Structure 1
């Protein structure tokens, strides 16, 4: 029986022709549970990652939005001038004496003797005119004068005879008075004839065009054979003459600096075409009134020019004495143009913007000289946006992150 039991309990032999043996059912369920757990864990991790990523992204967006909402600005402190120095203004060189030369007599140009650039002396002949009409008028006037002189001689002798006859009561007083009147009339006629002859001779002398002063010929507008009309109304000038030593420099001084100049002050003149060279002149005249359209004061400077290096009509820079009191300087890119006038944006200790009204004393190009409106301790915004308004909150950028041009302007 034991053998039978063992035989019954024995595992039947596996047929080698059958397929692979299947695992038990409880093993398959165990494996399925493990796979399900892994899948759920992966899904949970993916969901958690998605949630965390969304939270981090939302937080980044919020941070970036907050940062973008802040307005960063660059600021500088105004620099203070020392109250001295010079104020450079544009000026114009003019000849000490300048004059267009017109003809006083009408005629044809026979010859000219001076061209542009010629230096002439006072009284030097510049041109000759042919004036046949004036010559004929002069000859006629001389003949009329001779006729009048002859009539005067006859009237004088007749008066003398009638005076003798009157002494013998041979003629009446009325007749004598008539002879006296005729003589006086002939005397007046002779004086008029003499004046006419003198006038025509003077007019004929204008056939010779001479230089009224020593200088250089700057223009020649006529040539041989041109018809020259007398006068300066509609006719053109024959020549233009200028005296180049000394020169006169005319400067329009703004009203804000009108109190800084006086006659006798030394000034410095510079010309861009002559780099490194300075010329020294002296203020000789100051206009006594402010020009209403430009609100400026005209100043005249006398400038020696013995070598003729400077030429009349040139554009120059004139360095005039500056203001006696100190002013504040700010970069030119800090200026705001508003309907109320020029403004600068100033940041207070709490980061709020204040648009201060300023009075510009002088525009120096890259910087502005401010008369009033800011203090030396004010933080002035450079390159402010056009949309900046009074009361806006801003953040001052660190000094090392400011634009180099702003730092240069501030220095």
Structure 2
């Protein structure tokens, strides 16, 4: 029983083999087995070919996709040019604009009212101190002076009479011929008469001074730069509350003042006694020597500059007040070496002056700086840079910290030229 059960298969049949199956197994020949192997080999070859085709198509596509993405990112980043700032040569000279002013420049007013009778000098005339410039006709003052002289004469006559009377009473009182009261009255009357004479004399002196003011004299040696009146014009001295107007404008030009604004960074080196050379467009190639005589000793809080006066000799009268000059101020001590960058690299932001630099990972960084001299195309940077930075010469207005950049190195000839400019 046990052996019969073990010989049964899963479908309930006994372990006796099927004759048809036995016949099929015996019918598989070596040729059929070889054919099956060929099919397997062909299938494997096809699979390998397909795999190669897939790999050779996908990998380049992935590479191309990555390259396209990198190119897209590169195109999205702004392209900037960078240079390394070069040090400018230390200099003992700074060049600043200057305004020329006369050593003395003064309007000439009338001191009395009247009409202009005559003028003697026109614009451009050289005059000496005390020379008569103009005459004013004042008939009212002349008449007042005549009356004052007459009043003075009357006062003097009364004084003389009072003096005689007082002396007489003084002699008579010694003889008890007059009373003490009458004598005192005579003496007091003399004192009053003398006071009246002094008052009349003061009035005469005042009117004589006004008459003297009818002649206008030059207060100093100089040149008449303006004439604001003419013959017959009404002259108002402003004494009665009117609006006075100057008759002439005079300037002393034998020596001129030149005012320049020295940047704060050089203020400690700008001391009295320094020499300066002045250059003018109308005198190409010529230098006029000057000397720094004084400073304001205060920094202007708006411009951050020190007001400095340079005096220059103008005995020949070649230079004119009001002109513009290029002042080459020679400082006492040599200036420290500074860095020079193109002015196109400067960024004027709300928070202050900035320069954009490209860091090692080609991202932007904005650095605060302090400017020194301005040479036009290039400018000095006194603080904020070490000289190792890659300064962006064409920063976009919208550039920000950390922005990715496409960095290109600019032609270094521009930097070399900047360095030469800084060493002028």
TM superposition score normalised by structure 2? 0.77
Deviation digits for residues 132-180 of structure 1, max 9, x if unmatched? 0110011011011001101110111111111112222333433333322
Work out which of the residue numbers 391, 404, 410 in structure 1 matches 2:402.
391
Give the aligned partner of residue 158 of structure 1. 165
Distance in 2, Cα, partners of 1:288 & 1:171: 78
Distance in 2, Cα, partners of 1:265 & 1:277: 19
Give the aligned partner of residue 45 of structure 1. none
Work out which of the residue numbers 315, 318, 330 in structure 2 matches 1:309.
318
Work out which of the residue numbers 355, 368, 371 in structure 1 matches 2:366.
355
Deviation digits for residues 378-398 of structure 1, max 9, x if unmatched? 111111011211122323214
Matched, 1:218 2:225: yes
Work out which of the residue numbers 270, 283, 297 in structure 1 matches 2:292.
283
Task: Judge conservation of contact 1:129–1:208 (CA < 8 Å) in 2.
Answer: yes
Matched, 1:110 2:110: no
Alpha-carbon offset, residue 238 of structure 1: 0.8
Alpha-carbon offset, residue 306 of structure 1: 2.3
Higher deviation after alignment, 157-166 or 250-259: 250-259
Work out which of the residue numbers 321, 324, 333 in structure 1 matches 2:344.
333
Alpha-carbon offset, residue 76 of structure 1: 1.7
Give the aligned partner of residue 258 of structure 1. 267
Distance in 2, Cα, partners of 1:99 & 1:67: 68
CA RMSD of aligned residues (A): 2.7
Deviation digits for residues 240-261 of structure 1, max 9, x if unmatched? 1112111111223333322111
Task: Judge conservation of contact 2:271–2:292 (CA < 8 Å) in 1.
Answer: yes
Partner SS state of residue 178, structure 2: coil
Work out which of the residue numbers 293, 305, 327 in structure 2 matches 1:318.
327
Give the aligned partner of residue 25 of structure 1. none
Distance in 2, Cα, partners of 1:110 & 1:217: 19
Task: Judge conservation of contact 1:102–1:231 (CA < 8 Å) in 2.
Answer: no
Partner SS state of residue 371, structure 2: strand
Distance in 1, Cα, partners of 2:187 & 2:262: 70
Unaligned 5+ segments in structure 1 are 1-50
Deviation digits for residues 42-68 of structure 1, max 9, x if unmatched? xxxxxxxxx99x979978855642431
Alpha-carbon offset, residue 338 of structure 1: 1.9
Q: Which runs of 4+ in 1 moved over 6 A?
A: 54-60, 404-407
Measured at CA, do residues 57 and 284 of structure 1 come closer, stay the same or move farther in structure 2, by a change above 3 Å? Answer: same
Alpha-carbon offset, residue 410 of structure 1: 6.7
Give the aligned partner of residue 375 of structure 2. 364
Give the aligned partner of residue 353 of structure 2. 342
Measured at CA, do residues 134 and 150 of structure 1 come closer, stay the same or move farther in structure 2, by a change above 3 Å? Answer: same
Distance in 1, Cα, partners of 2:304 & 2:406: 41
Give the aligned partner of residue 278 of structure 2. 269
Within 5 Å, give how 1:44-63 maps onto structure 2.
62=69
Task: Judge conservation of contact 1:331–1:410 (CA < 8 Å) in 2.
Answer: no
Give the aligned partner of residue 196 of structure 2. 189
Higher deviation after alignment, 134-143 or 187-196: 187-196
Give the aligned partner of residue 8 of structure 1. none
Alpha-carbon offset, residue 121 of structure 1: 2.0
Give the aligned partner of residue 82 of structure 2. 75
Alpha-carbon offset, residue 294 of structure 1: 4.2
Measured at CA, do residues 406 and 377 of structure 1 come closer, stay the same or move farther in structure 2, by a change above 3 Å? Answer: closer
Alpha-carbon offset, residue 79 of structure 1: 2.3
Give the aligned partner of residue 29 of structure 1. none
Give the aligned partner of residue 123 of structure 1. 130
Task: Judge conservation of contact 1:245–1:306 (CA < 8 Å) in 2.
Answer: yes
Give the aligned partner of residue 22 of structure 1. none
TM superposition score normalised by structure 1? 0.79
Partner SS state of residue 176, structure 1: helix
Partner SS state of residue 197, structure 1: helix
Give the aligned partner of residue 93 of structure 1. 100
Unaligned 5+ segments in structure 2 are 1-56
